Amino acid sequence: MMGSKNDVKLLSFLLSPVGHRVEWALKLKGVEFEYVEEDIFNKSNLLLELNPVHKKVPVLVHHQKPIAESLIIVEYIDQTWKQHPLLPQHPYQRALARFWGTVADKLVKTSYVAMCSSGDEQEKSVKEAKEVMDKIEEEIIKGKKFFGGDNIGYLDLAFGWIPYWLPIWEEVGSMQIVDPLKHCAISAWNTNFLSHPIIKDCLPPRDKMLVYSHRRKNEFSSTLRR
């Protein structure tokens, strides 16, 4: 047995919103793990070996076997450690949660592109992201404390970048995607999510996120100018 008692290792990046999905899941379950910080600008051979297809974090290694893609990892964690269930039990509810999980993954990309871009491209991404936010507000969070109901679940982790990362992206991109007046249920959930004891103790420092987001935006616009 190497590392922690459960032989669980997580390769991630401090500022990654999708990496945090996995960290939150492990912490909610109370699973001990070894955390390995990856330099995404100078990837380790270990990462390239463990995730040769995408070469991205997060990667979970359980008993020497790697798993990539944050939401797939969260699902694996949920099936491996039964305490604090994250996905619903009923097949239809599970399918719905997975469906909205794919929406969360698409929306995180659209919002990130909106921060990085400007002009027409930014306008298009902001519009697209807002429309999806309207659907989330109306269809899945209204009247609930968490996406999972009374307890934090899979979709709370999937959308977990909205309360903390998105406001920074909105600031750096000088744009607005969540409108507190229109997206009341999402805004209330933002507060519920960030007040949860496990979540609030597992967030990256805001100052580092600001610096990093500005850097990504600058790199993005210089790529476009080339």
Ligand X SMILES: *[C@@H]1O[C@H](CO)[C@@H](O)[C@H](O)[C@H]1NC(C)=O
Ligand Y SMILES: N[C@@H](CCC(=O)N[C@@H](CS)C(=O)NCC(=O)O)C(=O)O
Instruction: For the CB of residue 32, give the shortest distance to ligand X in the complex, in Å.
Output: 26
Q: Does 36 bind ligand Y (CB under 6 A)?
A: no
Q: Does 8 bind ligand Y (CB under 6 A)?
A: no
Where does residue 36 rank: exposed (0-12), middle (13-18), buried (19+ CB within 10 A)?
A: middle
Structure tokens at 169: 């992206």
User: Which residue is associated with the tokens 């507060």?
Assistant: 191
Q: One symbol per residue from 17 to 46: x for binding ligand X (CB under 6 A), - otherwise; what is it?
A: -------------------------x-x--
Q: Report the partner that residue 42 touches, choosing among ligand X, ligand Y, none (CB closer than 5 to 8 A by kind).
A: ligand X
Nearer Cβ to ligand X, position 42 or 64?
42
Instruction: For the CB of residue 180, give the shortest distance to ligand Y in the complex, in Å.
Output: 26
Q: Does 49 bind ligand X (CB under 6 A)?
A: no
User: Which residue is associated with the tokens 């903390």?
Assistant: 164
Instruction: For the CB of residue 39, give the shortest distance to ligand X in the complex, in Å.
Output: 7
- Which of 220, 225, 212, 158 lies closest to 189 in space, CA to CA? 158
Q: One symbol per residue from 61 to 100: x for binding ligand Y (CB under 6 A), - otherwise; what is it?
A: --------xx------------------------------
Instruction: For the CB of residue 46, give the shortest distance to ligand X in the complex, in Å.
Output: 9
Nearer Cβ to ligand Y, position 70 or 111?
70
- 58 within 8 A of 19, measured Cβ to Cβ: yes
Helix 161-173 and helix 91-116: axis angle, to 10°? Answer: 20
Distance in angstroms (rounded) separating the CA atoms of residues 33 and 183: 36
- 8 within 8 A of 31, measured Cβ to Cβ: yes
Contacts with ligand X, residue ranges (CB under 6 A): 42, 44
